[in-house]
């Protein structure tokens, strides 16, 4: 049996998404910017996807900018804001558990003369709201906080964060990295006070290499990619019609079947967590309830190196992650785990189990059975 539990790294592309992608490659393959009828046919896929995604967020389709994925979306939000607002201020705030796609451009901006404040989080990964409140100043141009942490699944209080930001400085923009949250939560940027929001297609059964950035119509940021002036000049480059079409279909599927999908994922998560709690030496870094995402489980195992366990599971057709696959093929010690105060001896002993609706109970039981069998064997080997 194969059991794929690395869905936060990437998901299997849905059959409906594949079908429409093949159609764009076999039939409607023209450049969507071309003026002839073939170009118009290709452009319709882009417009349909923008409309679909906009409906899932209850925003205008003109507020959706297509990108190459979550990393570009995050970079566009941070760098674009910095360039547009540097005369108003050079202070930026992020949390201590941001993905490298936010942390690295923020660090780059700090090297270029911007001032960066990194907020602490508590042991569950939630941002310290009092420190946030104290940190916002007249020259704070941007706060960027992720919706769901990609390693432990902590869900940040986005609504409350937005209220704090706007009450302290109405001109400060709020960007949300929703790459692990989009399609797992019903998100409404207008009512939640989100100015910009990033998402990536391959996290919700769409293709890789495509994502989007929502930018509120009243927000003005500078483009970071220049060329032919595509997408109203905000992101130049020939549009990836195939990827955009597939992502649009995947987004529609996800929200059309939202309640059933999330309920299934939650039931699998609860079962796995119940069983992990029975295993000696297992330490759960993820909780239950509304403060944690339904699809992510972080667990540490005493006296076991994560990489060793990962490959032992892989040999049995079980695929998990020993860290964020987005950071590199060989990630170092997780900044998130350090930030939430995981014990030193567990920092390199942690795996992430991430679920989708394509997983089932047989796979979950197979995972648990193999963990129960492998852990004593691996510990025995380590102690020799």
The span from the CA of 4 to the CA of 379, in Å, is 24
Of 378, 147, 354, which Cα lies nearest the Cα of 268?
Answer: 354
Contacts of 262 (CB under 8 A, 6+ apart): 184, 294
Task: State the SS3 of the chain.
Answer: CCEECECCCCCCCCHHHHHHHHHHHHCCCCCCCCCCHHHHHHHHHHHHHHHHHHHHHCCCHHHEEEECCHHHHHHHHHHHHHHHHCCCCCEEEEECCCCHHHHHHHHHHHHCCCEEEEECECCCCCECHHHHHHHCCCCEEEEEEECECCCCCEECCHHHHHHHHHHHCCCCEEEEECCCCECCECCCHHHHCCCEEEEEHHHCCCCCCCEEEEECCCCCCCCCCCCCCCHHHCCCCCCCHHHHHHHHHHHHHHHHCHHHHHHHHHHHHHHHHHHHCCCCCEEECCCCCCCECCCEEEEEECCCCHHHHHHHHHCCCEECECCCCCCCCCCCCCHHHHHCCCCHHHCCCEEEEECCCCCCHHHHHHHHHHHHHHHHHHHHHHHC
Cite the active site residues: 326
Distance in angstroms (rounded) separating the CA atoms of residues 53 and 378: 46
């Amino acid at each position: 049996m194969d059991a794929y539990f690395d869905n936060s790294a990437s998901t299997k592309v849905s059959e409906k998404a594949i079908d429409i992608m093949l159609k764009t490659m076999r039939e409607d393959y023209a450049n969507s910017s071309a003026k002839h009828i073939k170009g118009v046919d290709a452009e319709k896929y882009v417009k349909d996807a923008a409309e679909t995604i906009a409906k899932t967020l209850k925003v205008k389709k003109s507020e959706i900018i297509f990108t190459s994925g979550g990393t570009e979306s995050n970079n566009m939000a941070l760098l674009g804001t910095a360039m547009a607002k540097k005369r108003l201020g050079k202070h930026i705030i992020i949390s201590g558990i941001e993905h490298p796609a936010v942390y690295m451009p923020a660090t780059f901006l700090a090297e270029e003369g911007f001032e960066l404040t990194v907020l602490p989080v508590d042991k569950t990964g939630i941002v310290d709201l009092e420190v946030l409140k104290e940190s916002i100043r007249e020259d704070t141009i941007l706060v960027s906080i992720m919706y769901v942490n990609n390693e432990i699944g902590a869900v940040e209080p986005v609504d409350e964060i937005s209220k704090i930001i706007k009450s302290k400085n109405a001109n400060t923009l709020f960007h949300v990295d929703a790459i692990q949250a989009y399609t797992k939560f019903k998100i409404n940027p207008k009512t939640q006070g989100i100015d910009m929001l990033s998402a990536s297609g391959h996290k919700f059964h769409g293709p890789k290499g495509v994502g989007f950035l929502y930018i509120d119509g009243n927000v003005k940021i500078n483009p970071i990619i220049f060329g032919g002036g595509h997408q109203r000049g905000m992101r130049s480059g020939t549009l990836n019609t195939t990827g955009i079409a597939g992502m649009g279909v995947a987004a529609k599927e996800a929200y059309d079947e939202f309640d059933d999908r999330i309920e299934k994922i939650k039931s699998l998560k609860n079962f796995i967590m119940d069983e992990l709690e029975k295993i000696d030496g297992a330490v759960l870094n993820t909780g239950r309830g509304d403060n944690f995402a339904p699809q992510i489980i972080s667990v540490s195992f005493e006296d076991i190196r994560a990489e060793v366990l990962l490959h032992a599971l892989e040999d049995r057709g079980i695929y998990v992650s020993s860290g964020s696959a987005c950071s590199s093929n060989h990630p170092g010690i997780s900044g998130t785990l350090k930030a939430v105060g995981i014990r030193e001896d567990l920092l390199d002993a942690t795996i992430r189990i991430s679920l989708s609706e394509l997983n089932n109970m047989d796979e979950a039981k197979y995972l648990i059975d193999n963990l129960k069998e492998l852990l004593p064997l691996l510990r025995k080997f380590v102690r020799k």
